RNA sequence: GGCUAGGUGGCAGAGUGGUGAUGCAACGGAUUGCAAAUCCGUACUACGUCGGUUCGAUUCCGGCCCUAGCCUCCA
């Protein structure tokens, strides 16, 4: 498997430190509001990577955190007049629900910051003991000059950053680039007792502490959005490396490209957010998932109604082929080599979709039962790696149709079939028009009639 | 201003130093009671721009233009 490592800015062979046990950590959300579709991209992309790693290696431990201590959560709670925990719980559950709808398998571990405050405190103590951090006015700060490699991941020169003059200068900082590991809480703010008084962790330390707690000092793969490369991941590297006596923190850094809406990145801070649940009102989760995988994960992805429509059309075509094969038992052959090779080439999902379309054509042309069984097995096995194509085809085409309505439609379709058998095409077309008016499209396939939502 | 990605046919989107993926849309044909679907085929003179290297560049190198991201919270 080859992966593009942001740290070396090159595609390299992936060699796990322990081939018997691969470890991966992905930055999860801060739960202060509903997740938007851009937040879904890393979840979906790294879900596919996790599936591939499980396919290729005997064991994977995949951790994706929930950041449930954050000043934005505090602000949301204050605004809503509820406890912090309630905000965190509400949006954590919403995140789980949204991802489930997108076919994302739960990671092996979902660490919460609130459960790791002790780990955070002890890591900060280690950093202070090693002279990489210092306490000042109730804060604890990481001393950036103490780590000469700082800036390596984001290819940034410290002096130039300071020249940018956008770093916050605070009187208690020894160096303008120093960042907060721990900060004091006022009485009305959530806080935890610590050697430096009652306070709460800064933004970056939680990932370092949780990765260590669940995956050890050196992890194989660390993923997240490209906007986290600096400062978040840079700071994680500094903290973890310095706390662990120089041990490598993450061996492969993977960053997904951002999602654009109207040519601009989608972000809560920009205000052009499209929530996952808004998208799910519009299309099935699988359509959204297909769109998220339709561009290479490192490329920017423009979200629009057009790409949703195209994804739906493509999935219709795939499910149509599977529907034709519904009476064929799929061969247990696994995904085709071409598919595996494409996925192992830095997760080239667009290439995989090209291969899927070849499979679909082969399915539509297949003459023998053996061929049909083989190609069905290939499509389903490919889909299992992508988290797609696993739905029941009839259910896919019925969409949101209720059982009662489906029964009624089935009856009308049967009537039309009888009319056609009687060569009463006027009656048959009348029924078809009637259904068309309800946005139901009839397809007279070789093996029988099929109907779908238009 | 610094750093990092990109700029591919009507749209989406891979990829490659020399036989121009794939899907959608378009067009023609087969099939069909008619449609839809499916299959076959065609086309769009596709690779931001100007130079360089090369027998040959969309693919390598350099300049320029443009876009997005990061440099501050952000997936």
- pLDDT given at position A161: 57
List beta partners, residue A134. A141
- pLDDT given at position A165: 47
CB A48 within 8 A of CB A293: yes
* Cis before A368 (ω within 30): no
CB A258 within 8 A of CB A266: yes
CB A287 within 8 A of CB A311: yes
d(CA A213, CA A208): 9
> How far is C-alpha A148 from the geometric centre of its chain's CA atoms?
33
d(CA A276, CA A262): 17
3-class SS of residue A322: helix
- pLDDT given at position A188: 87
d(CA A405, CA A11): 52
122-151 on A, CB < 7 Å from strand B: none
Residue A420: nearest nucleotide (C-alpha to C1') = B33
Q: Is the Cβ atom of A155 within 7 Å of strand B at any atom?
A: yes
H or E segment to which residue A376 belongs = helix A369-386
Q: Is the Cβ atom of A364 within 7 Å of strand B at any atom?
A: yes
Q: Which of A439, A441, A438, A414 is nearest to A428 (CA)?
A: A414
Q: What ipTM was predicted for this assembly?
A: 0.93
CB A240 within 8 A of CB A210: no
245-264 on A, CB < 7 Å from strand B: 256-260, 263-264
Residues ≥6 apart with Cβ < 8 Å to A59: A20, A21, A22
- pLDDT given at position A159: 65
The span from the first CA to the last CA of chain A, in angstroms, equals 40
Q: Which of A324, A116, A306 is nearest to A205 (CA)?
A: A116
List Cα–Cα distances, A211 to A75, A124, A345, in angstroms. 27, 14, 26
Residue A270: nearest nucleotide (C-alpha to C1') = B74
Look at chain A and count its residues. 454
321-360 on A, CB < 7 Å from strand B: 345, 348, 350-351, 353-354, 357-358, 360
d(CA A289, CA A435): 29
Please report, in tens digits, the pLDDT of each residue of chain A (454 residues total).
999 999 988 889 999 999 999 999 999 999 999 999 999 999 999 999 999 999 999 999 999 999 999 999 999 999 999 999 999 999 999 999 999 999 999 999 999 999 999 999 999 999 999 999 999 988 999 999 999 999 889 888 776 555 444 455 677 888 888 999 999 999 888 999 999 999 999 989 999 999 999 999 999 999 999 989 988 999 999 999 999 999 999 999 999 999 988 777 787 777 788 999 999 999 999 999 999 999 999 999 989 888 999 999 999 999 999 999 999 999 998 999 999 999 999 999 999 999 999 999 999 998 899 999 999 999 999 999 999 999 999 899 988 788 889 999 999 999 999 999 999 999 999 999 999 988 899 998 776 788 988 7
Residue A259: nearest nucleotide (C-alpha to C1') = B75
d(CA A271, CA A178): 29
Pairing of strands A301-302, A440-445: unpaired
A161 CA, B71 C1': Å apart? 7
Q: Is the Cβ atom of A202 within 7 Å of strand B at any atom?
A: no
Residues ≥6 apart with Cβ < 8 Å to A315: A286, A287, A290, A388, A389, A396
């Amino acid at each position: 498997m080859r992966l593009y490592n942001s740290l070396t800015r090159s595609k390299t062979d992936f060699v796990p430190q322990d081939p018997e046990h691969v470890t991966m950590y992905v930055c999860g959300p801060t739960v202060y509001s509903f997740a938007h579709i851009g937040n879904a991209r890393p979840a979906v992309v790294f879900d596919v990577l996790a599936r591939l790693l499980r396919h290729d290696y005997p064991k994977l431990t995949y951790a994706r955190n929930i950041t449930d201590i954050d000043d934005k959560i505090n602000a949301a709670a204050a605004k809503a007049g509820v406890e912090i925990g309630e905000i965190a719980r509400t949006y954590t559950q919403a995140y789980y629900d949204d991802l489930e709808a997108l076919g994302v398998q739960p990671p092996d571990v979902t660490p919460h910051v609130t459960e790791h405050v002790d780990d955070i405190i002890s890591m900060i103590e280690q950093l202070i003991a090693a002279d990489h951090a210092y306490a000042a006015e109730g804060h604890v700060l990481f001393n950036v000059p103490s780590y000469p490699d700082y800036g390596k991941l984001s290819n940034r020169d410290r002096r130039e950053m300071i020249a940018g003059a956008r770093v916050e200068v605070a009187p208690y900082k020894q160096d303008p680039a120093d960042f907060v590991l721990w900060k004091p809480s006022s009485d009305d703010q959530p806080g935890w007792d610590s050697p430096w008084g009652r306070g709460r962790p800064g933004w970056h330390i939680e990932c370092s502490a949780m990765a260590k707690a669940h995956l050890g000092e050196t992890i194989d793969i660390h993923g997240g959005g490209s906007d986290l490369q600096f400062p978040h991941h840079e700071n994680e590297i500094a903290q973890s490396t310095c706390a662990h006596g120089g041990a490598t923190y993450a061996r492969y850094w993977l960053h997904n490209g951002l999602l654009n809406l109207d040519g601009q990145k989608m972000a809560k801070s920009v205000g052009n957010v499209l929530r996952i649940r808004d998208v799910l009102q519009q299309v099935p989760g699988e359509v959204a998932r297909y769109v998220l995988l339709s561009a290479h994960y490192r490329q920017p992805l423009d979200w629009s109604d057009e790409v949703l429509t195209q994804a739906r059309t493509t999935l219709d075509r795939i499910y149509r082929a599977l529907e034709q094969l519904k009476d064929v038992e799929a061969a247990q052959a696994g995904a085709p080599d071409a598919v595996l090779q494409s996925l192992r080439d830095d997760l080239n999902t667009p290439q995989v979709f090209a291969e899927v379309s070849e499979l679909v054509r082969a399915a539509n042309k297949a003459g023998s039962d053996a061929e049909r069984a083989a190609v069905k097995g290939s499509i389903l096995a490919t889909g299992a790696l992508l988290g797609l194509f696993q739905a029941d085809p009839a259910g896919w085409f019925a969409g949101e149709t209720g059982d009662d309505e489906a029964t009624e439609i089935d009856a009308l379709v049967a009537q039309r079939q009888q009319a056609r058998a009687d060569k009463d095409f006027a009656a048959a077309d009348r029924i078809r028009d009637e259904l068309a008016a309800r946005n139901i499209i009839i397809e007279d396939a070789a093996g029988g009639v099929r109907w779908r939502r238009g």
